[in-house]
Amino acid sequence: MPYTPELKELIKIVEKTRPERVAKKRNGEEIPFLSLDERKKRLDFHPDFKTEGRRELKVGPSKGYGIAHEIADLLEAGSRVAPEKVNLSEPAYETDVLVIGGGGAGTSAAILASQHGAKVIMATKLRHGDANTMMAEGGIQAASKGHKDSPYYHYLDVMGGGHFTNVPELAETLVTSAPDAIRWLEHLGVNFTKKADGTLETIHGGGTSRKRMHYAADITGAEIMRTIRDEARNLADKIQVLEFSPAVELVLNEHGQCAGAVLYNMETQEYFVVKAKAVILATGGCGRLHIQGFMTTNHYGATADGIVLGYRAGVPVSFLHTVQYHPTGIVFPEQAEGILITEKFRGSGANLVNVEGNQFVNEREPRDVEAASIIKECVHDGLGVPTPTGRLGIWLDSPMIEDLAGEGTVKREFPGKYILYKRFDIDISKEPMLIYPTLHYQNGGLEFKETGETRVPGLFVAGEVGGGIHGANRLMGNSLLDIIVFGRIAGTSASAYIENGVKDGKLTLEHVVKYNAEVAKAGITDGRVAPAIIPNYTEAEVRSRQLTANYIGNVR
Amino acid sequence: METATLTEKVAAKTIPIYIMGKKYEVPETLTIMKAMEHSGYQYIRGCGCRGGVCGACATVYRKAGDYKIYTGLACQTVVEPEMYLTQIPFYPANRAAYDFESAKPTAETVYELYPELFRCVACNSCTKVCPMDVEVLDYISALKRGDLTAAAEISFDCIQCGLCASRCMGEMAQYHMAQVARRLQGGKIAPKAEHLEKMCGEIDAGTFTDVLAEAKKMTVDELKKVYTERELEPHMGADEWTPASNFGLA
Amino acid sequence: MKLGYYPGCTLKTKAANLEKAAMAALDHLGVEYKELSRWNCCGAVFSLTDDDLIHQVAPVRNLIRAAQEGCDTVVTICSQCYNTLARANKLVRENEEKRDTLNRFMTEEPDYNGEVEVVHYLSLLRERVGWEKLREAVANPLTGLKVAPFYGCTLVRPEEVAIDAVDDRILEGFIEALGAEPARFSASRECCGSYQMIAHPEEGIKRAAKVIGAANRSEADALILSCPMCEYNLGTRQREVVAATDGLTEVPTYYFTQLLGVALGLDTDLCRLDLNGPAAQELLVDKKFIAAATV
């Protein structure tokens, strides 16, 4: 979908102010950065700071903790299936380790658990590898170059990025395990971009003090995911993968240990039980809940299922009040909606300008400040650019880069995005991009320790579903790292836990029965169920005609 | 995105499309994926990242009065009037399991796993059907001539959607072969990063244990101070750059 | 003439000893060429087993690649590739109906109407360089070496793509130009045993034995080849063939390009004699054509 005639008219306004803006940029005249006080004020417009955007939880181990309505709606909901209907005495599968989630964290965990001798079942909602891991473009951090970097500096950067709120032990484990994680991936055959002598290429990311962002061209996550998936598939005799089988409840045993899960075959609509000696939750994040109505960079299955499961089983949530919005997501054309436009565009000089062709913020403020400024400009000040799909956006003036650094720079430096837009008949070296903040990452999640353990014995956590590593804000390149490091740790810990001897016991869903009662007691009677499993994008009008459709939550 | 939605949603013009032969009127601005959802489909299969990299939503379509087969990713392809489409969310493909540790980084490894490689008749259907514009025939040709490095490079953008396998008259699963080539290239042909090995050794030896223990004990204010004062590697500098202070380094 | 070089798969894997010296020799002789940047299998693996038109897609696509790169001529060294490409080219040039079918099938490529000339490396030497010029370029004449020229099948059959149609002795002319002596060799146009060596080994060995026996009788010091398949049957597996047959003795085998490299005095490493049996190296050392230390 190329720009419409209306948008082309609006682009003329941007073109009119461009020569002056380019001249200023050349002369080093910048819009001043906000002072710390101004920043604080500006952040009032950030979704995290919007008090009406969240509420205190009425039930569960973190009762009283304020989080986004969209997540609260799921935590304050009943089970999808009545616990008493589930036949716990005849599990369909028995295994040592059940890994829930088939992304980067789950796959790493499954490989490590099987290497330590455990029999593994990996249950995944969509296909093996359908995960945000696949979508990560930028890179993976690790202090791999001893002449200028070390885990100490990586630690400082992680803590600073998280506004010094991170759990120190988690951050320490992340940075000290990072080089070994990269080595493991290199060994398994990930094609990191390297110099001819094998030296890994590394670049800066937002908030890094040293260049430690390793990458595989501009598809780092996909390259990692397909490589470890291939390895897991080679271990098919030890790792059984159940696709299109999301978990809807964790199963405990009479000793209070986690002992499996209830899975749902989305295609045949059967529920069945997997009995396991240990369970690893690696279900990822929540982008598809569209918190506060935001579009998202996340994959289709990012609906926070693991948070719901773990919370019901007794694990508190931590840092879940903060969500990361990437300031520049594509808002038009619609087919690319939510897709990330890398910070590198702004680093290369492209201004953010409003519908009148004017700048309103320095383009190199921190992510949260930048996002808040864009939202303020569109929503509060009414200076957003209306899109043909009924949204508002801001121009990211990419043609400036051509003026500043010479013709052909955009195509050379941003081949992926150049081609993406070219498919829509938009040449971003000549026309600006329309962007708006996009929901990117769940900073918080289930509380867990650096060993991957949770408060529930036998239940381990890895990846985006866990909270605390990144504090209130994650830096670029630390999520791919997180899933590999803590995926491997969870796999190792779970198998060690089993080796130390697990008491067999009667399976129970009593915790779900109690939770349902708590929900009812809190006066929540609208029949909401969770987990969400998949989003529902059916138009209200169409839904109104689906007279015999039986929706359970989102799922028809 | 209600925070930034105009009060009156602009009504887009609608066009007819045929989903598995059945006609639906959908807004002309939508992708195939959103058009199907708009029409009342709820995906279980055939939808993944919604960003063009996971390979879940391979779609085949024709246009009215045109014999040609067109392909695209449902999440990336905008609807066109009178398009006849279906998704191919799964296509069976022969995948040979192998032991990566013992696999030799030679063409013979691929030949032994996938002898059907030599069934290729260079018909080029694979390249024509690839929604990522990967030159599939070229990487298959590279494998046949034993050039794993070239095969790894040419196949790098593959999203393993399986459309190539669906059209192959040699009945091959090209993308599984390419995966073997890429892993052998990355893990066994490309030179190892020596600095990485060295850093892992330093960490195992406990070189940074004390300095990290100190950092973990710091109050927020102390931490803020060292954070603010830490030296920043210049953006445009060379890889060889070294900081003025070697505190905290190996 | 803009000359494209089509290598073929085997020369990039097993038969580097067929390729390297040949290309260095072209540089040495001042023949400009470029290796095609995109190419696929010549089509030999399948096109000889069936004449279904789809099997012509592979060779014709290679000719299109050459045309795309602006070449009016494409040279290849492997006789199997030569045969496949040349026959496909002939088909395209002579059969309008099949040509149209192929072009319609490959709509993603520009139309091809036989614009590119397919030549074998030996023809290139004879017609482009000339035996006289080659003789002058020889720095290290192979004097006293008696060489049995083996054409096998694919250089000379079918007749319409035969490379020695001009004087019926292209390999002999080549051997003489290098300063060696061509042996009178009764089996020079026999089949080496081809895939029979795998499918029906006894028959394959019988075929190969016939060739080696004839070479023995001709008192040749060496046998030269132009095809990796022939090399496999007559070189790699020669010891088995000799052991299975009464009255045979082993004879060193070379690709013709290796002797070319030695005669032109090119760096011996380029000749990749390490890929031949040890006897092949020893013979050249004994005859003082190469130094012992270099092999």
- Per-residue pLDDT reduced to its tens digit, C36-66: 999 988 877 654 445 578 889 999 999 999 9
Where are the strands (E) in A145-232, listed by range? 202-203, 213-214
Which string of DSSP letters, residue by residue, matches A228-275?
A: HHHHHHHTTTTEEEETT--EEEEEEETTS-EEEEEEEETTTTEEEEEE
Question: Within chain C, how many helices (H) and strands (E) appear?
Answer: 15, 8
CA closest to B144 among chain C residues: C9
Instruction: Report d(CA A344, CA A364) in Å as an integer.
Output: 10
Q: What is the pLDDT of residue C293?
A: 61
Amino acid code (one letter) for A354: N
> Would you give the end-to-end CA distance of chain B in angstroms?
48
Report the predicted TM-score, pTM, of the whole model to 2 decimal places. 0.89
Instruction: Report d(CA A503, CA A83) in Å as an integer.
Output: 23
Reported as a pLDDT band with limits 50, 70 and 90, residue B235 is: confident
Q: Where are the domains of chain A?
A: 5-30+328-364+393-435, 78-322+443-508
Q: Would you call A229 a catalytic residue per the annotation? A: no
Q: Is the pLDDT reported for residue A118 higher than 50?
A: yes
Residue in A288, A299, A346, A474 annotated catalytic: A346
Quick one: what percent of chain C has pLDDT higher than 90?
Answer: 81
Contact status of A148 with chain B (Cβ, < 8 Å): yes
Contact status of C138 with chain B (Cβ, < 8 Å): no
Q: Where do we find the tokens 């090399």?
A: C231
Of C79, C95, C122, the residue at which a domain comes to its end is C122
Question: Which chain B residues are Cβ-neighbours of A210 within 8 angstroms?
Answer: 233
Instruction: Report d(CA B18, CA A554) in Å as an integer.
Output: 26
Q: H or E element: which one contains A94?
A: strand A93-100
Reported as a pLDDT band with limits 50, 70 and 90, residue A92 is: very high
DSSP structure class, residue A453:
B
Using CB atoms, pick whichever of A176, A186, A209 lies closest to residue B208: A176
Q: Which domain holds residue C242?
A: 138-294
Instruction: Report d(CA A350, CA A76) in Å as an integer.
Output: 44
What are A522-534's pLDDT values in tens digits? Answer: 999 888 999 999 9
Nearest Cα neighbor of A396 from A353, A439, A335, A428 is A353
State the virtual CA torsion across A24, A28, A29, A31 in degrees, nearest 10. 110
Instruction: Report d(CA B49, CA A135) in Å as an integer.
Output: 7
Residue in A326, A367, A470, A474 annotated catalytic: A326
**Strands of B70-73's sheet in order across:** B22-27, B14-19, B83-87, B58-63, B70-73
CB atoms within 10 A of CB A290: 17
Q: Is the pLDDT reported for residue A339 higher than 90?
A: no
Specify the 3-state DSSP secondary structure of A393: strand
Q: What is the pLDDT of residue C46?
A: 52
Determine contact, residues B45/B56, Cβ cutoff 8 Å.
yes
Instruction: Report d(CA A486, CA A466) in Å as an integer.
Output: 10
Phi first, then psi: give them for residue C8, nearest 5 degrees. Answer: 85, 150
CB atoms within 10 A of CB A298: 29
Are C148 and C276 found together in one domain?
A: yes
- Chain C from 95 to 114: CB within 8 A of any B CB: 105-106, 108-109
Superfamily, domain A78-322+443-508: FAD/NAD(P)-binding domain (3.50.50.60)
Instruction: Report d(CA C1, CA C127) in Å as an integer.
Output: 13
Determine contact, residues C81/C44, Cβ cutoff 8 Å.
yes
DSSP structure class, residue A408:
T
Query: Is residue C131 domain-resident?
Result: no
Q: Do chains C and A touch (3 or more CB pairs under 8 A)?
A: no
Packing angle, helices C256-264 and C16-29, rounded to 10:
40
Contact status of A368 with chain B (Cβ, < 8 Å): no
Q: What is the pLDDT of residue C51?
A: 54
Cα four-point dihedral sign A513, A68, A396, A431? positive
Nearest Cα neighbor of A128 from B55, B125, C4 is B55
Paired residues of C12 in beta bridges = none
β-bridge pairing C73-76 and C117-120: parallel
**Strands of C117-120's sheet in order across:** C34-35, C3-5, C73-76, C117-120
Q: Mean pLDDT over residues A421-426, rounded?
A: 87
Determine contact, residues A493/A466, Cβ cutoff 8 Å.
no
Query: Is residue C132 domain-resident?
Result: no
User: Chain B interface, mutation test: which of A126, A210, A303, most B Cβ atoms within 10 Å?
Assistant: A126
Q: Which residue has better confidence, A207 or B185?
A: B185
Paired residues of A55 in beta bridges = A67
Question: Which chain C residues are Cβ-neighbours of B140 within 8 angstroms?
Answer: 40
Of C122, C148, C172, the residue at which a domain comes to its end is C122
Are C158 and C227 found together in one domain?
A: yes
Which span out of A178-187, B124-133, C158-167 was modeled with the highest average pLDDT? A178-187
What are A177-229's pLDDT values in tens digits? Answer: 999 999 999 999 999 999 999 999 998 887 889 999 999 988 899 999 999 99
Are C159 and C285 found together in one domain?
A: yes
Q: Where do we find the tokens 């950030």?
A: A46
Are C221 and C287 found together in one domain?
A: yes
B100–A231 C-beta distance less than 8 A: yes
What is the helix, strand, coil percentage profile of chain A, to 5?
A: 35, 20, 45
The mean of the pLDDT values for chain C is: 92
CATH number of the domain within which C178 lies: 3.40.50.11810
What is the helix, strand, coil percentage profile of chain C, to 5?
A: 55, 10, 40
Residues ≥6 apart with Cβ < 8 Å to B174: B126, B136, B139, B140, B164, B165, B168
Phi first, then psi: give them for residue B57, nearest 5 degrees. Answer: -115, 40
Burial degree of A457 (CB within 10 A; 0-12, 13-18, 19+): middle
User: Chain B interface, mutation test: which of A335, A377, A542, most B Cβ atoms within 10 Å?
Assistant: A335
Q: What is the CATH number of domain A5-30+328-364+393-435?
A: 3.90.700.10
Q: Where do we find the tokens 């409840």?
A: A249
Question: Which chain A residues are Cβ-neighbours of B10 within 8 angstroms?
Answer: 388-390
- Enumerate neighbours of C (3 or more CB pairs within 8 A): B
Q: Which two tokens stand for residue A333?
A: 């054309």
Are C72 and C98 found together in one domain?
A: yes
Q: Where do we find the tokens 């682009």?
A: A11
CB atoms within 10 A of CB B28: 17
The long-range contacts involving B9-12, CB below 8 angstroms and separated by at least 24 positions, are B9/A390, B10/A388, B10/A389, B10/A390, B12/A388, B12/A389
Reported as a pLDDT band with limits 50, 70 and 90, residue A120 is: very high
The long-range contacts involving A514-523, CB below 8 angstroms and separated by at least 24 positions, are A515/A59, A515/A60, A515/A79, A515/A312, A516/A78, A516/A79, A516/A83, A518/A59, A518/A60, A519/A59, A519/A76, A519/A77, A519/A78, A520/A78, A522/A58, A522/A59, A522/A76, A523/A58
Quick one: what percent of chain A has pLDDT higher than 70?
Answer: 100
Instruction: Report d(CA A367, CA A163) in Å as an integer.
Output: 13
Are C241 and C271 found together in one domain?
A: yes
- The number of distinct structural domains making up chain C is 2
Instruction: Report d(CA A462, CA A107) in Å as an integer.
Output: 10
Are C192 and C65 found together in one domain?
A: no
Instruction: Report d(CA A510, CA A428) in Å as an integer.
Output: 57
- Chain A from 497 to 536: CB within 8 A of any B CB: 534, 536
Instruction: Report d(CA A401, CA A29) in Å as an integer.
Output: 16
ipTM of the complex as predicted:
0.96
Instruction: Report d(CA B200, CA A177) in Å as an integer.
Output: 9
Q: Would you call A346 a catalytic residue per the annotation? A: yes
Using CB atoms, pick whichever of B122, B127, B147 lies closest to residue C43: B122
Which string of DSSP letters, residue by residue, matches chain B?
A: -GGGB-SSPPPPPEEEEEETTEEEEEETT-BHHHHHHHTT---SSS-S-SSSSS---EEEEEETT----EEEETTTPBP-TTEEEEE------------TTT--SSHHHHHHH-GGGGG-----HHHHH-TT---HHHHHHHHHTT-HHHHHHHTTT----SHHHHH-TT---HHHHHHHHHHHIIIIISPP-HHHHHHHHHHHTTTTHHHHHHHHH--HHHHHHHHHHS----TT--TT---S--TT--
CATH number of the domain within which C88 lies: 1.20.1050.140
Q: Is the pLDDT reported for residue A366 higher than 80?
A: no
Phi first, then psi: give them for residue A234, nearest 5 degrees. Answer: -70, -20
Are C110 and C142 found together in one domain?
A: no
The mean of the pLDDT values for chain A is: 94
Q: What is the pLDDT of residue B249?
A: 96
Nearest Cα neighbor of A309 from A70, A483, A509 is A509
Determine contact, residues B53/B131, Cβ cutoff 8 Å.
no
Q: Mean pLDDT over residues C232-236, rounded?
A: 95
CATH class of segment(s) B12-87: alpha beta
Shortest Cα distance from B59 to chain A (angstroms)? Answer: 15
Instruction: Report d(CA C141, CA A475) in Å as an integer.
Output: 70
Q: What is the pLDDT of residue B6?
A: 38
A235-244, C35-44, C76-85: segment of lowest average pLDDT: C35-44
Show which residues on chain B lie within 8 Å of chain C, measured between beta carbons. 107, 118, 120-124, 127-128, 135, 137-138, 140-141, 144-147, 169
C108–B121 C-beta distance less than 8 A: no
Are C223 and C116 found together in one domain?
A: no
Instruction: Report d(CA A122, CA A97) in Å as an integer.
Output: 8
Reported as a pLDDT band with limits 50, 70 and 90, residue A48 is: confident
Shortest Cα distance from B128 to chain C (angstroms)? Answer: 8
Query: Is residue C133 domain-resident?
Result: no
Are C112 and C144 found together in one domain?
A: no
Are C172 and C265 found together in one domain?
A: yes
Q: Which residue has better confidence, B74 or A346?
A: B74
- Chain A from 441 to 500: CB within 8 A of any B CB: none
Question: Which chain B residues are Cβ-neighbours of A148 within 8 angstroms?
Answer: 233, 241-243, 249
Instruction: Report d(CA C168, CA C188) in Å as an integer.
Output: 12
Question: Which chain B residues are Cβ-neighbours of C101 within 8 angstroms?
Answer: none
Q: Mean pLDDT over residues A28-33, rounded?
A: 83
Cα four-point dihedral sign C227, C232, C238, C244? negative
Where are the strands (E) in A334-444, listed by range? 352-353, 385-386, 392-396, 433-442
Of C95, C122, C149, the residue at which a domain comes to its end is C122
Residues ≥6 apart with Cβ < 8 Å to B88: B58, B59, B60, B161, B162, B163, B166
Q: Mean pLDDT over residues A8-25, rounded?
A: 95
User: Chain B interface, mutation test: which of A147, A175, A387, most B Cβ atoms within 10 Å?
Assistant: A147
- Enumerate neighbours of A (3 or more CB pairs within 8 A): B
Are C102 and C211 found together in one domain?
A: no
User: Chain C interface, mutation test: which of B116, B124, B127, B169, most C Cβ atoms within 10 Å?
Assistant: B124
Q: Which two tokens stand for residue A166?
A: 């991170």
Q: Where are the domains of chain B?
A: 12-87, 107-189
